[in-house]
Structure 1
Amino acid sequence: MDTKQASWVDWYKENLLRGCFLEEMVQLMCSGGVPLADVKNIMGKNYPSSLDFNNLTNPTLINNSSVLKVNTKKAQMYIIDNFMSSHECNVVMSLMDTALVPSTVTVSNGDDAFRTSKTCYLNNQSHPIVAELDVRIAQVLGFASFNSEAIQGQKYDVGQEFKAHTDFFKPGTPEYSYFTNPLGQRTWSFMVYLNDTEEGGETDFPELDVSFKPRKGVALVWNNLTAQGYGNEATLHHAKPVIKGEKYVITKWFRTRNELLWNQCRVEV
């Protein structure tokens, strides 16, 4: 065992005794340059079974002929035309309009204008379309719906935006400890545009050099993690300001685990 690997072994043992999240340790070691195979050897029986990166990086939608793969090597990204019908989009927008509240961010950076949209948590709505969409999104990806967050809706009026950010939680930060208990890291983002925005409102990925104009019923899907399981900084994206009209979207985030598997992710000493 070389000196570098030995130092990671010591680091792992120390943090294991401290009761740190197993998934967070995996991501920190991988982001520190430790090969995933070595991480598994270091952690042994404590390697969390919820982190099956083959499944996380190969959803069933890849084999769906109606899905268009975005041409980039830096991330996994797909477009699905007509994922929702015009009628479905109209119904969901009406539901959102009854329950919108100011959007928030997971960590404040002192910029009050960082996210200026409004948000609706659709799981609070009793309309059957919410449950139907929840199941449909999960089926398209091939993941269990209970490995995900509730569908969230966002509305942007003229001038409103969500400045450049990533969807995954940063390992080694208070944000990670707070927001990953008990569902774990965000793996995939599944976003659907509910209307055609007249001008502005694009979803811009500067590191990927791609930008998407809101089109009614179109889904945009991307993986927030690398194949090694740590956050992919190339998925940085900016919901650009609406210039004319308005913008409605829904978003569903999938996670590495669910509450049913939570006990399997606890530390075994």
Structure 2
Amino acid sequence: MEFHIKVFAVVVLASLLPIYVSSDIFASMVDVETLMDTEKNLLDILRETAQKEIEKLTLAKRYISKFKKAYNSHVDDTWEDIATSPIKAFQFIKHVTADWKLMSTKIEESIVNDRTASVRLLRSERRFPDEDDIKGSALAFNRLQNTYKIQPRDIAYGKVPGTRRTPAFTSREAFIVGHQQALEKQFNSASAWLEVSLDIFNTETVKTQTHTELLDWLQYSIFHDSGNAYRALELMKDIQKIDPTYANIPDNLKTYGGIVENGTAAELERMKSEVIQPKYIDDHYAALCRGEDLMDPELSRDLVCYLETYDNPYLLIQPVKLELANLDPVVYVVYNAILDSQAERIKKIGPQHLFRAKVIAQNSTQGVNSDTRISKIAFLEESVDEVIKTVNAYTGHATNLNASLAEHLQINNYGVGGYYYSHYDFFRDKEGVGHHLIESKKGDRIATFLMYMSDVESGGATVFPHLNVTLFPVKGAAAFWYNLHMDGEPDQRTLHSGCPVLSGMKWVSNKWFREGGQYVTRPCALFQDSPEPEPNVVSANTIVVASA
């Protein structure tokens, strides 16, 4: 099967942007938001040029019209909507790649010199999407539909449960998603998306997708998913009617025809009646991400909320607000862990420092990009802004831990369907992958303080599969847990995940405390299964305020 990935071509022609570096824009929604500001400026240039050269810039006017139509003609009012919706973000990325590609040659021919220079300068100053961004944003939909049991048809028509209605996909956009999933050999999901693309194609007045290409990838995906040779044969016959010269028609007709002819009558009837049904990975992790309550009621009834001062004078006037989310090991939710003003300041200064989050590869000390982690991160030193120092200081008070050897504050912004699959925060793993990150004076990561700097419209929970705990983001709150037993051994029960963001902008910040300096409040014990301090014992400096 011959296929050229024209729609995923580099966003700018070589004459406009000679040097291009992959930007992984799909990995961070804030990058999509930044890109939209640049795109708005580009639209302004195109509008001005179109006024001067109406006849030559027909495609430019169509480009603007398509953008305005897709986003309700209210450009200034919809940037936040686009940046917080995986569907709109994907459509937007497609808009500034594929749609721009179609008209770029015409732009070069028709834009006067000063306008060409303006476009070249604007696009060279900003990071623009490439093929990997289209791929990353398209494959995100498979992750979302698997985790949250969403039909591809509902996504394509903008009917995602728990989110605002979004513009429907064109046939081309649905094809891009299905085609990418077929390339990744996810044939079941690919078949469903390509079927949706065909349905949309049949209703489009102005066709956005090549008919034969769509039918070809649909037959290919269906056959590799379920072995339905009858359906594949019928699709190949449709292709032959449209274009008898299309590649591989004789071979495919012979292959599929032979399977159908040699099959039993029962097999033929099954293939004729078979309907494409997406197969979901309904595992424990996905159930927790959906918010299903899997915790044993005998355990959850003992969870309480209380105020804590740790006998710290700093906390006497405003104690720490704690909610027990799990008893053994202890997992806390800390409320008012970061002020709105502090979170907004960090989100303002953070984007310029962001880079693609990586994972440590097996048998290596190097970080690599991974489909198991879709976000961008930055480590912010206190010298970056005064707010970092203030936030760091409070994390020490709220956890009763020594923050002098803690890591720099890490911030995370999640991308299209952004998530971080199940992982540990400690470095003493059995394979020794992270051992080189255990510093002699600081030790391993004894505890994690995960602050939510934004609410998330849908999805994006933090889940602990071994504990049946789900924590949905609440702006200003934090999740707090110990990664190590009191003797320093890793606590394998702290396996956790950041679930895919279905809708909204997810910002979090991490403060990882190291073992060094914790001998007063978290002393090391002598044997592995040392008893943990009872978290639900009410001490003299603890005030129980509610039952969770």
TM-score under structure 2 normalisation? Answer: 0.34
**Cα–Cα, structure 1 residues 116 and 108, in superposed 2: closer, same or farther, change >3 Å?**
farther
Q: Does 1:83 align with 2:337?
A: yes
Indicate the structure (1 or 2) with the bigger Cα radius of gyration: 2
Q: 8 Å contact 2:453–2:476 — kept in the other structure? A: yes
Measure, in 2, the Cα distance between the counterparts of 1:115 and 1:171.
18
Deviations 1:125-173 (A, max 9, x none): 5210011111111122222222211110011023111100010112564
Aligned 1:14-53 pairs, distance under 5 A: none
- Whether 1:144 and 2:402 are equivalent positions in the alignment is yes
CA distance in 2, matches of 1:108, 1:172: 11
Amino acid at match of 2:357: S
AA partner of residue 337 (structure 2): F
Aligned mate of 1:221, from 480, 483, 501: 480
Separation in 2, partners of 1:240, 1:226: 26
5+ residue gaps, structure 1, are 1-59, 259-269
* Structure 1 residues 111 and 154, CA gap change in structure 2 (3 angstroms): closer
1:104 lines up with 2:358 in the alignment: yes
Q: Residue 134 of structure 1 aligns to a residue in which SS?
A: helix
Residue 200 (str. 1) matches residue 454 (str. 2): no
Distance change >3 Å, CA 111–CA 100, structure 1 → 2: closer
Task: Provide the aligned C-alpha RMSD in A.
Answer: 2.3
Residue identity in the other structure for 2:515: T
Picking from 495, 498, 501, the partner of 1:239 is 498
1:93 aligns with 2:351: no
Per-residue CA distance 1:173-230 (angstroms, 9 max, x = gap): 4434310023211101001000001111110111111111111110111001123321
Whether 2:384 is the aligned partner of 1:126: answer yes
Gaps of 5+ in 2: 1-307, 518-548
* Matching residue of 1:166: 424
| Secondary structure of the corresponding residue to residue 131 of structure 1 | helix
Name the stretch that deviates more: 230-239 or 163-172.
163-172
Which amino acid letter does the alignment assign opposite residue 149 of structure 1?
E
In the other structure, the counterpart of 1:26 is none
Letter in 2 for 1:164: S
Give distance in 2, aligned partners of 1:172 and 1:155.
Answer: 29
Change (3 A) 1:80 1:178: same
Please report the TM-score for the alignment, with normalisation by the length of structure 1: 0.67
Instruction: Work out whether residues 325 and 469 of structure 2, in 8 Å CA contact, stay in contact via their aligned partners in 1.
Output: no
**Structure 1 residues 240 and 74: alpha-carbon distance in aligned structure 2, compared to 1, 3 A threshold:** same
In the alignment of these two chains, the number of paired residues is: 199
Verify the 8 A CA contact 1:158 1:246 in the aligned structure 2. no
Instruction: Report if aligned partners of 1:148, 1:255 keep a CA contact under 8 Å in 2.
Output: yes
Does residue 187 (structure 1) correspond to residue 446 (structure 2)? The answer is: yes
More helix by share: 2
- 1:121 deviation in Å? 1.1
Distance 1:119 1:125, change over 3 A: farther
Give 1 or 2: higher strand fraction: 1
Task: Give the AA of the match of 2:505.
Answer: E
Q: Comparing 177-186 with 206-215, which one deviates more in the overlay?
A: 177-186
Identity %: 26
1:154 to 412, 422, 428: 412
Q: Structure 1 pair 256/226, CA: closer, same or farther in 2 (3 Å)?
A: same
SS of structure 1 residue aligned to 2:359: coil
Q: Distance in 2 between matches of 1:165 and 1:155?
A: 18
Give the SS at the match of 1:98.
helix
Query: 1:133 is paired with a residue of what secondary structure?
Result: helix
